[in-house]
Amino acid sequence: MARTRLQLDADRQAATLRTRMAEDIRRLREDAGATRIAVARLAGVAPSVITRVEGGDAHPSLETYARLVAALGADLAMRAYPDTGPRIRDRHHVRMADAVIGALDARWQVTPEVAVRRPARGWIDLALRDPSVALVVATELESALRRVEQLIRWSAEKAASIASSAVGAGWARDGPGQAVSRLLVIRWTRANRAAASESHRLLRRAYPADPRDALEALTATAAWPGPALLWSRIDRGRAELVA
């Protein structure tokens, strides 16, 4: 079975990390003036393991790395940090995107899945652009509302980074700087409504515009009112925007 692009990228990243670890372990051992046999004895592994690790030919376990690093008087650090966001999307996410796109007035230009790089790294679900007023609305689609504070912060950081995206660079070439606003679309469920109710002050502060004005701006010719929150109701596989 052929590997996907995601799998190939992950495999390349793992190979790069192994190469860096090989260089670090060899440098630490040589700086300490220790032989492979001495380090192997202390770490409880065969000398051939260290030879292969330093040569980049081995795929040792995390425990083996930890033993070798500890024997050399160093600490092993491993962490996962937010990058471009999850690649997994549920079926509701796609329907919500279709609902937004299908409701838009003809003046709006849509770019799905916009990758931003700096200062924040992530994906903006939909970038809605009104070229007549040099406005971009960074749109986030949430089928399950969980950590509201993190969602608000993360959405704002990604919106502020849209100039670093490929489409943002293209817009910059078209004329003066684009004004950037935000839209949050949440799936209409009992659990999401309860979560929104508990955090209504935070959400209101982050998305202060009247949702009816936002819906009119998206579906007709009204001006965009500013950061707004809308809901997406899904019934029998079909989604619609509601204020």
Question: Tell me, what's the pLDDT at 203?
Answer: 96
Confidence of residue 176 (pLDDT cuts 50, 70, 90): low
Separation of alpha carbons 41 and 25, rounded Å: 15
Query: Does position 82 have pLDDT exceeding 60, yes or no?
Result: no
Kindly report, residue by residue over 33-75, the tens digit of the pLDDT: 999 999 999 999 999 999 999 998 888 999 999 999 999 999 9
Question: Tell me, what's the pLDDT at 214?
Answer: 98
Confidence of residue 193 (pLDDT cuts 50, 70, 90): very high
Lowest mean pLDDT among 9-23, 29-43, 189-203: 9-23
What value does the mean pLDDT take over residues 211-232? 97
Q: Where are the domains of the chain?
A: 5-71, 91-242
Quick one: 5-71 is in which CATH superfamily? lambda repressor-like DNA-binding domains (1.10.260.40)
State yes or no: cis peptide before 227, omega within 30 of 0: no
Q: Which residue has the higher pLDDT, 124 or 176?
A: 124
Kindly report, residue by residue over 150-175, the tens digit of the pLDDT: 899 999 999 999 998 888 887 877 66
pTM recorded for the entire structure: 0.69
Separation of alpha carbons 39 and 68, rounded Å: 7
